[in-house]
């Protein structure tokens, strides 16, 4: 039996679930936070979505069928929680996701954790302003989270070739814009 299968067994056993879940938190909390943060932008929203993600994982681990890796299943939950939070905000503020995105750079530069230089800021500006939502999500997952195309396809439930096309289109847009803006 694989290590992951043993871990899942511990997570689904009422006697070992809490201890295993604490280990799961220790292993994945930071990575999930930063994944969610790239979608929802602010620290407060990322914390809310992260908390909801781990609550859902804890409550639904018994439904995990093993058709994918545990991390893929968890990222899918995190992705859905982040999107759910944005949609809730959209309904509350009657704004589209595209209208929320321009706030990204303002939030990013005011963030205590952001210490980027001018080129780094331009990089994020291009990601925010020139990519579609789909391109932005796929690019972030591949570039920042270092997920494989197969993992991204499983998480987003999208064809792998479609993802590759989105990713490479995003890379081309970013390269063109950075070169144009920095006069390299």
Per-residue pLDDT of 37-52, as tens digits, reads 988 888 999 999 999 9
For residue range 165-182, list pLDDT tens digits in order.
999 999 999 999 888 776
Contact 128, 101 (CB under 8 A): yes
Comparing CA positions, the residue from 126, 167, 161, 155 lying closest to residue 35 is: 155
Among 43-57, 64-78, 80-94, whose mean pLDDT is lowest?
A: 80-94
Q: What is the SS3 assignment for 8-59?
A: HHHHHCCCCHHHHHHHHHHHHHHHHHHHHHHHHCCHHHHHHHHHHHHHHHHH
Residue ranges of the chain that CATH labels 1.10.1740.10: 1-100
**What is residue 41's three-state secondary structure?**
coil
| Class of the domain covering 117-184 | mainly alpha
Contact 96, 89 (CB under 8 A): no
CA-based angle 80:85:90, to the nearest 5? 120
Say which residues have a Cβ less than 8 Å from residue 5's Cβ, sequence separation at least 6: 66
1-100 classified as CATH 3.80.30.20: no
Residue ranges of the chain that CATH labels 1.10.10.10: 117-184
Q: In whole angstroms, what is the distance from residue 91 CA to residue 139 CA?
A: 26
Determine whether 171 is exposed, middle or buried from the number of CB atoms within 10 Å of its CB (0-12, 13-18, 19+). middle
Tokens of 110: 């005011």
- How many C-beta atoms lie closer than 10 Å to residue 181's C-beta? 14
pLDDT tier, 70 (very low <50, low <70, confident <90, very high otherwise):
very high
Residue 135: is its pLDDT beyond 80? Answer: yes
Contact 12, 62 (CB under 8 A): yes
pTM of the model: 0.73
Q: In whole angstroms, what is the distance from residue 167 CA to residue 64 CA?
A: 29
């Amino acid at each position: 039996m694989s290590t992951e299968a043993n871990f899942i067994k511990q997570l689904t056993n009422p006697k070992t679930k809490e201890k295993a879940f604490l280990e799961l938190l220790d292993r994945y909390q930071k990575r999930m936070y930063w994944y969610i943060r790239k979608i929802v932008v602010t620290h407060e929203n990322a914390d809310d979505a992260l908390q909801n993600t781990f609550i859902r994982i804890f409550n639904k681990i018994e439904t995990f069928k093993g058709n994918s890796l545990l991390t893929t299943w968890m990222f899918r939950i995190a992705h859905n929680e982040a999107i759910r939070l944005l949609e809730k905000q959209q309904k509350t503020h009657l704004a589209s996701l595209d209208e929320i995105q321009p706030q990204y750079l303002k939030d990013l530069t005011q963030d205590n954790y952001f210490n980027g230089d001018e080129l780094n800021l331009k990089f994020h500006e291009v990601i925010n302003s020139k990519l579609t939502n789909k391109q932005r999500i796929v690019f972030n997952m591949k570039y920042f989270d270092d997920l494989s195309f197969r993992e991204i396809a499983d998480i987003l439930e999208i064809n792998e070739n479609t993802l590759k096309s989105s990713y490479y289109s995003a890379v081309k847009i970013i390269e063109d814009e950075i070169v144009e803006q920095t006069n390299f």
